[in-house]
């Protein structure tokens, strides 16, 4: 394929870049500031230096237009709240006294004022702080951050484009402030918000901004006619402003759907659209509305949220098609590069051949520059890049790592029966009752016990060679003994080993499965100063040997009571990793499920009668568009059942999920066919128990009665009251007693009293039955 050169030179750009710096300088500076070890000035200087380095690196690599305003000390949605003056009442004094401390108070809370609620940014693992709005919200413009950062880039002689969260998405991501009626719709504040955006745009224009990007990712979700109408009004109004910068409205993560014609017709100067697989449909939809005559199109052809090298020829062919649909086509990553690590070339532990398959932020930047060059000057101008890219793609496609015939053979041979328990639930339940002999309202925990300083020190000692594997394992065993002894003494019915050997519930398994890659420097922001290193599902997945059996059987050898085996489920393994893009997700899930199925069987064979397969991420990977959800839930529930269905009827399968809203997936929870499910329920006063009952959920459930996100220890009465509420929805024969989630983030003293109260509460309520 040869692309003729485009009329205008295509520019390469990005919407955002990893914020933390090569050595996570930002995390260190911010946390140092919180601890009083770093001054505000030093923190600001570090931040400015990181921005400068990033822009110069981007410009040096050939990015024509660098983003500004994407940097954040904590979160860009919180920054937007500051920009529009939406500071909750309870934080106003702090913000007035010191804007920086007030900012962190909103993010993290103080003794007297709760932080803003945190929730996931669409279907990514980034978390944002939810704006709190009400009918009395008064917005006021504060363009300081946006203008300052733009001027910094300008002073470096760069062409920069400020990036702001758009007004419609800002409101759609908000929720009613505490004390405001649930029914309040933040979108009703649009007319009040638009003048504030107009002011910020005017300030940026005055500072010299030619283009400003307004991000509207919320428009890729299903939207009502009223919401689409709000988008139409917003951009008609902003478009009509006199003396404004040119407006680029950006969307990503999925297709725009009904919002596409709305934005295409709006009097703005350009659209940035996602053209990756995740947003399939945008290209046809754009052609269907007749393209964007007179407008600039920024084409997100390089996936901004996975870590795979781009198929440059395929991208060029998409770009070639787009040339016919807009006045000018520029090249971008599909979304901010915030969601990928910085630099794959730092991963010296990954074989060079495999490292070439990876593209982190820096490599993606290079891809964008190559694509822009190819689009402008024709493919001959990038012949050597294309050849190298073809070789990398071919090496990945033909590698034995991505094509393990044994694994492939097994997944193709999977039958419907493999994903079905051998007996229906009622018969299994009877067998399990006989086998386990548990009391009514059995008590248990979700798996982890406090990850103490000693445990972390033991891992650090092992890494540093101060102790050997045997020494490390002794420490883990000491911990298991303590955890088992405590649970016996406290009177819990189904025990756990406490997961002391696990650094992280996904990484622990990823490290032991063939086909998974771990990174050393692949940090990605999860929220605030918390960064994670998601492992990479790179090849076909197999399990060379058992992963957990040793620890579970050791724990079981210490007690007569059942010890629950503990695994992370296939959906969560995918959700918290970088996934393959060369096969359907369902296929990858099936491979992981089969590996876990072997672990489940080995646990059973070693005498484990209760096995829990955690799926806390089942709901969070739900596709953004409702139309795409059934297909996802299909493969997701199949993968769970494939993991668990191979056991005897009298082996009890548990699962666990932790989030409050799952009204929309009750059917999927039912389809998992787990014998017992534990769920977060304390804060919602057992709402989920009522939802399960309303659905007619037929199996056992443990709605949590101990909120583990808080250091507060619930009293026996509180726990007992919650149980009584639970009993109104779920009969005693099917109700379990447990905390909301694992205890790894809590301290031993809290955990001790909380679990004692939980057991006492269960006994008291049992006595009432």
Contact positions toward Zn ion, by CB under 5 A?
616, 658, 741
In three-state form (DSSP H/G/I as H, E/B as E, the rest C), the secondary structure along 207-270 is: HCCCEEEEECHHHHCCCCHHHHHHHHHHHHHHHCCCCCCEEEEECCCCCCCCHHHHHHHCCCCE
Q: Write down the catalytic residue from 91, 403, 709, 757.
A: 709
Count other C-beta atoms under 10 Å from residue 396's C-beta.
21
Complex with ligand GLN: residue 344 or 741, whichever CB lies closer: 741
- Contact at 8 Å (CB) between 184 and 135? yes
Complex with ligand GLN: residue 185 or 750, whichever CB lies closer: 750
Residues 6+ apart with CB under 8 A from 169: 215, 216, 217, 218, 219
Sign of the CA dihedral with 380 first, then 382, 383, and 384 last: positive
- Does the active-site annotation cover 695? no
**Which residues ranging from 734 to 763 are in contact with ligand GLN (CB under 6 A)?**
741-742, 744
149 binds, among Zn ion, ligand GLN, none (CB under 5 to 8 A by kind): none
614 is a contact residue toward ligand GLN (CB under 6 A): yes
Q: In whole angstroms, what is the distance from residue 524 CA to residue 531 CA?
A: 5
Got the DSSP string for 389-445?
Answer: HHHHHHHHHH-TTT--HHHHHHHHT--GGGGS-SS-HHHHHHHHHHHH-PPSS-BB-
Q: Looking up tokens 């084409």, which residue turns up? A: 299
679 is a contact residue toward ligand GLN (CB under 6 A): no
* Per-residue contact string for residues 428-447; x = within reach of ligand GLN by CB under 6 A: ------------------xx
- Shortest distance (Å) from residue 273 CB to ligand GLN: 34
419 binds, among Zn ion, ligand GLN, none (CB under 5 to 8 A by kind): none
Residues 6+ apart with CB under 8 A from 74: 30, 103, 104, 107, 129, 528, 529
Complex with Zn ion: residue 102 or 447, whichever CB lies closer: 447
88 is a contact residue toward ligand GLN (CB under 6 A): no
* Per-residue contact string for residues 549-568; x = within reach of ligand GLN by CB under 6 A: -----------------x--
Complex with ligand GLN: residue 167 or 703, whichever CB lies closer: 703
Strands 292-302 and 175-176 come out as unpaired
Give the nearest residue (CB) to ligand GLN: 742
Q: In whole angstroms, what is the distance from residue 68 CA to residue 146 CA?
A: 7
Count of residues near ligand GLN by CB under 6 A: 13
Integer angstrom CA distances of residue 517 from 23, 247, 520, 598: 21, 41, 10, 21
619 is a contact residue toward ligand GLN (CB under 6 A): no
Sheet containing strand 211-215, strands side by side: 12-13, 326-333, 292-302, 270-274, 246-250, 211-215, 160-165, 66-68
744 binds, among Zn ion, ligand GLN, none (CB under 5 to 8 A by kind): ligand GLN
602 is a contact residue toward ligand GLN (CB under 6 A): no
505 is a contact residue toward ligand GLN (CB under 6 A): yes
143 binds, among Zn ion, ligand GLN, none (CB under 5 to 8 A by kind): none
616 is a contact residue toward ligand GLN (CB under 6 A): yes
- Shortest distance (Å) from residue 572 CB to ligand GLN: 8
Complex with ligand GLN: residue 46 or 637, whichever CB lies closer: 637
Complex with Zn ion: residue 535 or 616, whichever CB lies closer: 616
Complex with ligand GLN: residue 646 or 704, whichever CB lies closer: 704
What SS3 state is found at 703? strand
- Shortest distance (Å) from residue 218 CB to ligand GLN: 27
566 binds, among Zn ion, ligand GLN, none (CB under 5 to 8 A by kind): ligand GLN
Binding residue (CB under 6 A) for ligand GLN from 658, 701, 705, 723: 658
Residues 6+ apart with CB under 8 A from 769: 440, 441, 732
739 binds, among Zn ion, ligand GLN, none (CB under 5 to 8 A by kind): none
Q: In whole angstroms, what is the distance from residue 302 CA to residue 510 CA?
A: 26
Q: From the centroid of its chain, how far is CA 117? A: 16
Q: Which residues are catalytic?
A: 709
Catalog residues that contact ligand GLN under the rule CB under 6 A: 446-448, 499, 505, 566, 614, 616, 656, 658, 741-742, 744
């Amino acid at each position: 394929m040869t692309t003729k050169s485009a009329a205008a030179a295509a520019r390469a750009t990005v919407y955002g870049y990893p914020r933390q710096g090569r050595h996570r300088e930002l995390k260190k500076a911010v946390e140092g500031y919180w601890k009083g070890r770093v001054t505000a000035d030093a923190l600001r200087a570090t931040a400015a230096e990181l921005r400068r380095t990033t822009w110069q690196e981007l410009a040096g690599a050939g990015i024509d237009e660098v983003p500004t305003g994407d940097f954040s000390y904590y979160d860009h949605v919180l920054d937007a709240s500051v920009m529009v003056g939406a500071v909750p009442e309870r934080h106003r004094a702090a913000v007035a006294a010191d804007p920086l401390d007030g900012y962190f108070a909103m993010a993290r809370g103080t003794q007297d004022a709760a932080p803003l609620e945190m929730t996931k940014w669409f279907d990514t693992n980034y978390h944002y702080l939810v704006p709190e709005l009400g009918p009395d919200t008064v917005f006021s413009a504060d363009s300081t951050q946006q203008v300052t950062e733009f001027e910094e880039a300008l002073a470096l002689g760069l062409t920069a484009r400020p990036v702001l969260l758009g007004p419609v998405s800002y409101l759609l991501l908000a929720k009613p402030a505490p004390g405001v009626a649930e029914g309040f719709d933040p979108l009703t504040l649009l007319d009040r918000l638009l003048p504030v955006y107009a002011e910020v745009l005017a300030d940026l224009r005055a500072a010299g901004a030619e283009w400003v990007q307004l991000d509207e990712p919320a428009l890729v979700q299903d939207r009502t006619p009223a919401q689409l109408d709000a988008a139409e009004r917003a951009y008609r109004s902003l478009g009509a402003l006199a003396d404004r910068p040119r407006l680029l409205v950006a969307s990503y993560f999925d297709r725009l759907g009904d919002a596409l014609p709305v934005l295409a017709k709006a009097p703005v100067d350009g659209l940035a659209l996602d053209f990756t697989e995740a947003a399939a449909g945008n290209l046809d939809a754009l052609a269907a509305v007749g393209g964007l005559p007179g407008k600039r199109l920024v084409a997100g052809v390089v996936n901004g949220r996975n870590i795979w090298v781009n198929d440059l020829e395929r991208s060029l062919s998409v770009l070639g098609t787009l040339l016919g649909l807009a006045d000018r086509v520029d090249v971008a990553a599909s979304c901010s590069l915030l969601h990928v690590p910085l630099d794959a070339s730092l991963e010296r532990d990954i074989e060079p051949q495999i490292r070439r398959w990876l593209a982190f932020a820096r490599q993606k930047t290079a891809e964008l520059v190559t694509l822009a060059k190819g689009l402008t000057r024709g493919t001959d101008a990038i012949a050597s890049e294309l050849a190298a890219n073809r070789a990398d793609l071919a090496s990945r496609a033909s590698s034995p790592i991505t094509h393990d015939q044994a694994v492939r053979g097994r997944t193709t041979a999977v039958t419907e029966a493999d994903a079905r328990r051998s007996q229906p639930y009622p018969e299994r339940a009877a067998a399990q009752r006989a086998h386990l002999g548990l009391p009514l309202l059995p008590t248990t925990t979700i798996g982890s016990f406090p990850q103490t300083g000693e445990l972390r020190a033991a891992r650090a000692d092992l890494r540093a060679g101060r102790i050997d594997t045997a020494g490390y394992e002794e420490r883990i065993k000491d911990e298991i003994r303590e955890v088992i002894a405590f649970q016996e003494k406290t009177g819990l019915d189904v025990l756990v080993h406490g997961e002391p050997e696990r650094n992280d519930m996904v990484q622990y398994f990823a490290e032991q499965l063939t086909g998974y890659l771990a990174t050393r420097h692949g940090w990605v922001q999860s929220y605030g100063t918390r960064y994670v290193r998601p492992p990479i599902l790179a090849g076909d997945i197999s399990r060379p040997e058992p992963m957990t059996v040793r620890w579970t059987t050791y724990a079981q050898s210490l007690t007569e009571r059942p010890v629950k085996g503990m695994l992370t489920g296939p959906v969560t393994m995918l959700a918290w990793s970088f996934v393959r893009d060369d096969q359907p997700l369902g296929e990858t899930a099936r491979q992981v499920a089969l590996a876990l199925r072997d672990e489940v069987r080995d646990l059973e064979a070693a005498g484990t009668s209760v096995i829990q397969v955690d799926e806390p991420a089942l709901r969070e990977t739900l596709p953004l568009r409702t139309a795409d959800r059934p297909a996802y839930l299909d493969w997701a529930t199949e993968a769970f059942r494939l993991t668990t269905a191979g056991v005897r009827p009298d082996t009890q399968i548990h699962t666990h999920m932790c989030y409050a809203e799952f009204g929309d997936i009750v059917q999927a929870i039912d389809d998992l066919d787990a014998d017992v499910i534990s769920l977060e329920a304390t804060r919602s006063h057992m709402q989920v128990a009522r939802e399960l009952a309303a659905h007619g959920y037929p199996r056992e459930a443990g709605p949590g009665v101990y909120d583990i996100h808080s250091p507060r220890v619930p009293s026996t009465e509180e726990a007992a009251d919650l149980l009584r509420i639970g009993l109104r929805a779920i009969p005693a024969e099917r109700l379990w007693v447990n905390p909301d989630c694992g205890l790894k983030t809590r301290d031993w003293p809290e955990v001790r009293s909380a679990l004692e109260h939980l057991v006492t509460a269960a006994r008291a309520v049992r006595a009432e039955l």
